[in-house]
């Protein structure tokens, strides 16, 4: 009897889990150098900047532009980067907008909400897709956002 109950419980758990999909955003080159001036703007916790137009010839902004946020973490500067394109709409001109708290970002077209402050880009509501995230690499004088 215990084995049957265990099997039923296991089956219920396995089929009740909702799947998440990492992203539907195409892989396009992303490369952005953040110098000390950019870091000053990002110094406060939950400060963010969006980049939708290249500043330098070497800038590559992914599919819909890049969102960089100084999110939550153990140090004073915890930079996370995401593609601004909504993974539900998959259009380069439909971009998520950070909410006033900068903990989440919302798509103005479909209403999907994503967590941005923790570095995951995880969906909170309205979708199973994650925001496309980019790596942030630190060097002695700058941070580089890349894929």
Q: What is the pLDDT of residues 12-67, one digit of tens each?
A: 444 444 555 788 999 999 999 998 777 888 989 999 999 999 999 999 999 999 99
- All structural domains of the chain with their residue ranges: 20-146
Torsion of CA 92, 115, 81, 20, to 10 degrees: -70
Residue 39's pLDDT is 80
Neighbours of 111 (CB within 10 A): 12
Helix (H) or strand (E) holding 125: strand 123-125
Helix (H) or strand (E) holding 16: helix 2-16
Which residue carries 């950070």 as its tokens? 98
pLDDT band at 6 (very low <50, low <70, confident <90, very high): very low
What span, in angstroms and rounded, lies between the C-alpha atoms of 84 and 2?
50
Residue 117's pLDDT is 96
Give the least confident one: 9-23, 63-77, 95-109: 9-23
Q: Which CATH superfamily is domain 20-146 in?
A: Rieske [2Fe-2S] iron-sulphur domain (2.102.10.10)
> Does pTM surpass 0.75?
yes
Mean pLDDT on 71-83: 91
Q: β-strand 143-146 against 60-61: which pairing, if any?
A: unpaired
Residue 37's pLDDT is 76
Residue 13's pLDDT is 45
pLDDT at 9 over 60: no
pLDDT band at 140 (very low <50, low <70, confident <90, very high): confident
3-state percent helix, strand, coil for the chain, nearest multiple of 5: 15, 30, 55
Q: Copy the structure tokens of residue 92.
A: 């380069």
What span, in angstroms and rounded, lies between the C-alpha atoms of 107 and 113?
7
What is residue 37's three-state secondary structure? helix
What is residue 11's three-state secondary structure? helix
């Amino acid at each position: 009897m215990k084995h049957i109950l265990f099997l039923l419980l296991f089956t219920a758990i396995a089929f009740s889990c909702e799947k998440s999909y990492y992203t539907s955003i195409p892989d396009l080159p992303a490369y952005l150098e953040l110098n000390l001036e950019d870091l000053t703007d990002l110094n406060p916790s939950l400060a963010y900047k969006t980049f939708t137009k290249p500043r330098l010839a070497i800038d590559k902004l992914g599919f819909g532009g890049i969102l960089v946020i100084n999110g939550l973490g153990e140090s004073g500067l915890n930079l996370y980067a995401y593609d601004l394109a909504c993974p539900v709409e998959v259009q380069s001109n439909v971009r998520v907008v950070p909410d006033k708290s900068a903990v989440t970002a919302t798509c103005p077209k479909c209403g999907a909400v994503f967590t941005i402050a923790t570095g995951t880009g995880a969906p909170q509501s309205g979708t199973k897709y994650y925001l496309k995230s980019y790596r942030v690499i630190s060097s002695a004088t700058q941070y580089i956002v890349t894929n």
